[in-house]
Structure 1
Amino acid sequence: MIPILKDKFAWKKWMSASILICSLCFTAACSEKGDNRDSTDAQEQADLPASPASDSTAVIDEQPGRVYYEIFVRSFYDSDGDGIGDLNGITEKLDYLNDGKPGGDDLGVEGIWLMPINPSPSYHGYDVTDYYEVNPEYGTMEDLQHLLEEAHKRGMKVIMDLVVNHTSTEHPWFVESASSLDNTHRAWYKWEEDLNIDPSGLSAAGSGPAWHEKNGNHYLGTFWSGMPDLNFDLEAVREEMKKIGKFWLEQGFDGFRLDAAKHIYEDLQSDRSPETTAKNVAWWQEFRAAMNEVKEDAYIVGEVWENSPVSIAPYLENAFDSGFNFGLADQIIRTVSSEQNGGFLIQWNRNYELFAEKSQGQFVDAIFLANHDQNRVMSQLSGNKDHARMAAAILLTLPGNPFIYYGEEIGMKGSKPDEEIREPMLWSKNSSGSKGQTTWEQAKHNQDDDAVNVEAQLTDPSSLLSLYRNVIEWRTGIAALRDGAVEDYSVEDDQVLSYIRATASEQVLVVHNLSSEAKEVSLSEKEPHFSAILHQTDDQASLQNGTISLPPYSTVVLK
């Protein structure tokens, strides 16, 4: 039997002791802004906690989760016919996301992440010109309030993208900072001439220059010249950013996704160090404490784009509730592409042990397949719909808060440049003339498949959208799938991935057939026993005499 543990970490300790630990093998990735990402090295492996001996006494460490949906407002739904998505458009489509009722044909997500909604000169919004207003192309503060109210009526949380590492060069602060040496806002940004340092260093977010010329001086812009970095060594900057965070929580937001969270002080390649990480974490702890004054349960998830758990873990100590799990996203894509489980749980179980240790057991993993900085899942999978279905089934049966990038649920394609991974959401076959369809960007992908739209898939029980909807419904209806810890349940076939999800009151077994061949899987005679199928993605799946019959590319959940 799975032990009931008293110590809050003992579940993860017991789980670690139950399987052989091997080294992590994550690949590096890069962001839209050219961020270099460190792979896990031997030293970081040495820094991971050792797996302790089994403890037979303690509490299963549950990880309450909810499914979030990431929305690029400009591309989602246009309520006023100008071709640009807007806040009222999202409100109109809330019933597609979650109508607040059990069952039905809504997707069933329980939270929304809005990409930047502040005024900005760029289409993407990551260079802000006013932190206290809504982008007029997206609507008004009243439109935002209406969206928040309607989402909350449906039991949905809403978090906003908060971009505090840098502003736009058009922000009044920067305009003033660049205007003269004695301006009040001069020190709000980093100027080489003021700091008397060498402006030749390379950006920590890429391989290009970090310093840029303006009026004969040089300012720091880690991502590009249009995004000057703020100076967080200045108390006035830190106080202003805390004030901004509190303002948006007071407007009704439930938390934040924090952009470029590790780059507050990691500006140059030469800045990469434990000392820099410590400064970053100290700032975010200060920010977290300030947000707690307004909303103690505000959900804060940070973008720390590293595949190394050692790099992410420090931010979970009294700063973030979650850090996006980029390594796991890569691992899911590799697993479904190769159709091999590759020791799936073995490779990331120690990550959880480290995260639990740093967060005092309070972290919630933020899991996903791809986001607005990466090629879309369907493009990464070369259009293989079976692999896309398996990726979704794995994502939505793992612990944490799964994040779905808009259009992922209908299999939209998209490869860089960035505009092409943020193309308009496709609502119907004749998208160009349909109500609500955004047209700000001419679509270059998804033109060769009439089924890649919501209308075509909504009533098709075999569609990718139906699979997302069904597995999300499983998740919300089964406490062990939604909140439970995870335990390895190994089978001899490398093309089968299986694991137990467990709370203190229930446990279920998840089994995925990753391959194109039917599989027969014999269940262990040891405790716990699983004797009935709760859910299945293929009606041909069956369980007889302790053996599961799995059709190709299928998933079952057993009790």
Structure 2
Amino acid sequence: MNKHTFLILASLCIFSATAVFAQNQKNNVSQWPRGITYEIFVQSFADSNGDGIGDIKGMTSKLDYLKNLGVEAVWLMPINPSPSYHKYDVTDYYGIHPDYGTIEDFKEFTREAHKRNIKVVIDLVINHSSSSHPWFQEAVRNENSPYREYYVWTHKDDPQTQKDGKPTGADSDNTTHWHKVKDSDYLYYGYFYGGMPDLNYDSPKLRQEVFKIGRYWLTEMDVDGFRLDAARHIFPDERPQDNHQWWVYFRNEMQKAKKDVYLVGEVWAPADIVGPYLKGLPALFNFDMGYAITKAVNEEQAGDLVKNHKKIRDFYASVNPDYIDATFLTNHDQNRIMSAVNGDMKKAKMAAALLLTLPGSPYLYYGEEIGMNGKKPDEYIREPFLWDMKTKDKSRTTWVQPNYSTESTVVPLAAQQKDKNSLFNHYKTLVKLRNNSPALTYGELVPLNVAPKNVSAFLRQHQDQTLLVLHNLSKEEVTLDLPQEATQFNRVHFKTKGGKVNKGTVTIPGSSSLILEKN
């Protein structure tokens, strides 16, 4: 046996130790937007010019990595000019932040992404602008400015917005939504804080301006869609129906520019509040599922995770049968999943397995696949991606000194790629499994009851493929008898460890997954 042949056989053995497939895998059956999307904070992802700040050219250089991982789209956190590091307070809706590059850099990124069949979704922050935006600056200087109606104003003596000499609208953080203009008797509305004045969607001129912005990015810049920040707060909370109707209006206008435009909304609320938004936003983030997965893996109890997920999906389907369930573990506003499971690698792997085998169109937060840590404040859940050891890593950003994701806590990607048991290879294997499976990508969810409470059991069924999915959330091996409706599942389709099935009895090692199909 020559050296080349030996290496090929060795690599095959390594893969089979990680996962077992009962059948030869087909080409991807997944088609975005039902596929997997990767969320990127550009500032922390990849630096191309050595200034310590992630940029668009850096992202472009990593597109082959994303393609190899199996993602079908990227969602970019804000890329517009802004005075803040996070850029959720925009000063120019048509520009690129100079730290990130140029318009031409972005066009090149989009072209290269599309060559790899990767869609591009950008954060569109249209609930508010920056207080440094020229619109707002002009409106403050001149009460007769045409931009005055782009924002929401009140007078200090207005009883509708004032009580006991103070602005009303205090939120849970003990701040106010009304903010005083310096050397003026006027106040302006800013739901989040004074640096982010809300835009006034009662203004027809403002609405047309926003449509113009959307059309520009869809046509001139060729993006495939938008993630809509703070979608619940376009109008005040006491006007939910106006919020719902606005997004129907917005979607109709965007479809004139790009028929298959993708819109995913951030409505951080329980399902009953989220549901009505699906009329205008066909994709919405499923915050409930992320919380439920984290709870299940931490408690090592299946609980009602699957039943509740089906209940929410059935409710959403009653509002919009074609809705897209944007599932995820955690995102840029939450403690990272690895920190949420207290650094327990087995629990992190189980969380990934649940996300990628339950229904939905999953989002992965950059660095999640290598186990990056992170806890509030926000800067420290958005730390630099670790591509390689620091001495070799020319792409690593340095804009912030990391507190949680360092080489002492996270194995860099380059090393994980060589380790068959790494979290990265676990994610990559599960992504490939999902992408190649009609049932896991498109299948209906059927919860199953099994005796061990630490086993999550469910069917995924789509047309000719039905799979029985079993996750042992505990660290101990479990043996169980399959329920009557699942006894025909007697062949291993996939496993992460040495699970086995014999005449309706299944053995699943601790912290592992087993997927069965019928003979």
* TM-score, normalising length: structure 1: 0.83
Taking the aligned partners of 1:526 and 1:219, their CA distance within structure 2 comes to 61
3-state DSSP of counterpart to 2:339: helix
Deviation at 1:156, TM superposition (A): 1.3
Please state if 1:72 is matched with 2:41: yes
Please state if 1:183 is matched with 2:142: no
- Structure 2: runs of 5 or more not aligned: 1-30
Please state if 1:385 is matched with 2:348: no
Deviation at 1:167, TM superposition (A): 0.4
Classify 1:448/1:156 alpha carbon distance in 2 versus 1 (closer, same or farther; 3 Å). Answer: closer
Classify 1:369/1:450 alpha carbon distance in 2 versus 1 (closer, same or farther; 3 Å). Answer: closer
- Structure 1: runs of 5 or more not aligned: 1-61, 99-105, 267-271
Taking the aligned partners of 1:358 and 1:195, their CA distance within structure 2 comes to 43
Deviation at 1:451, TM superposition (A): 4.6
Per-residue deviation, residues 401-441 of structure 1 (Å, max 9, x unmatched): 1011111111111111111111111111226x621110011
Aligned to 2:319: 358
Taking the aligned partners of 1:64 and 1:437, their CA distance within structure 2 comes to 30
Correspondence for 2:263 among 261, 283, 300: 300
Aligned to 1:144: 106
Aligned to 1:329: 290
Deviation at 1:314, TM superposition (A): 0.4
Aligned to 2:471: 512
**Contact 2:38–2:74 (Cα < 8 Å) also in 1:** yes
Please state if 1:209 is matched with 2:176: yes
3-state DSSP of counterpart to 1:507: strand
Correspondence for 1:261 among 221, 231, 234: 231
**Contact 1:341–1:497 (Cα < 8 Å) also in 2:** yes
Q: Figure out how many residues of one structure are paired with residues of the other and give that number.
A: 479
3-state DSSP of counterpart to 1:368: coil
Aligned to 2:128: 166
**Contact 1:79–1:88 (Cα < 8 Å) also in 2:** yes
Classify 1:236/1:149 alpha carbon distance in 2 versus 1 (closer, same or farther; 3 Å). Answer: same
Aligned to 2:370: 410
Deviation at 1:134, TM superposition (A): 1.0
Taking the aligned partners of 1:485 and 1:363, their CA distance within structure 2 comes to 14
**Contact 1:64–1:400 (Cα < 8 Å) also in 2:** no
**Contact 2:389–2:407 (Cα < 8 Å) also in 1:** no
3-state DSSP of counterpart to 2:290: helix
3-state DSSP of counterpart to 2:69: coil
Identity, % of aligned positions: 43
Aligned to 1:558: 516
* TM-score, normalising length: structure 2: 0.89
- Residue type matched to 2:179 in 1? H
Deviation at 1:153, TM superposition (A): 1.3
Any residues of structure 2 matched to 1:94-493 within 5 Å, and which? 94-98=63-67, 106-193=68-155, 196=158, 197-199=160-162, 200-203=167-170, 206-215=173-182, 216=184, 217-250=186-219, 251-266=221-236, 272-273=237-238, 276-306=239-269, 308-317=270-279, 319-359=280-320, 361-430=321-390, 434-447=393-406, 449=408, 451-493=410-452
**Contact 1:64–1:483 (Cα < 8 Å) also in 2:** no
**Contact 1:205–1:223 (Cα < 8 Å) also in 2:** no
**Contact 1:256–1:300 (Cα < 8 Å) also in 2:** yes
Indicate the larger mover: 257-266 or 188-197.
188-197
**Contact 2:301–2:455 (Cα < 8 Å) also in 1:** yes
Taking the aligned partners of 2:113 and 2:424, their CA distance within structure 1 comes to 21
3-state DSSP of counterpart to 2:435: helix
Aligned to 1:13: none
Deviation at 1:325, TM superposition (A): 0.8
Taking the aligned partners of 1:336 and 1:446, their CA distance within structure 2 comes to 22
Taking the aligned partners of 1:63 and 1:426, their CA distance within structure 2 comes to 27
Classify 1:450/1:358 alpha carbon distance in 2 versus 1 (closer, same or farther; 3 Å). Answer: closer
Classify 1:365/1:63 alpha carbon distance in 2 versus 1 (closer, same or farther; 3 Å). Answer: farther
Deviation at 1:195, TM superposition (A): 10
Aligned to 1:544: 502
3-state DSSP of counterpart to 1:192: strand
Per-residue deviation, residues 150-202 of structure 1 (Å, max 9, x unmatched): 11111111100000010011110000010021111111111112994424122
Deviation at 1:545, TM superposition (A): 2.3
**Contact 1:429–1:451 (Cα < 8 Å) also in 2:** no
- Residue type matched to 1:292 in 2? Q
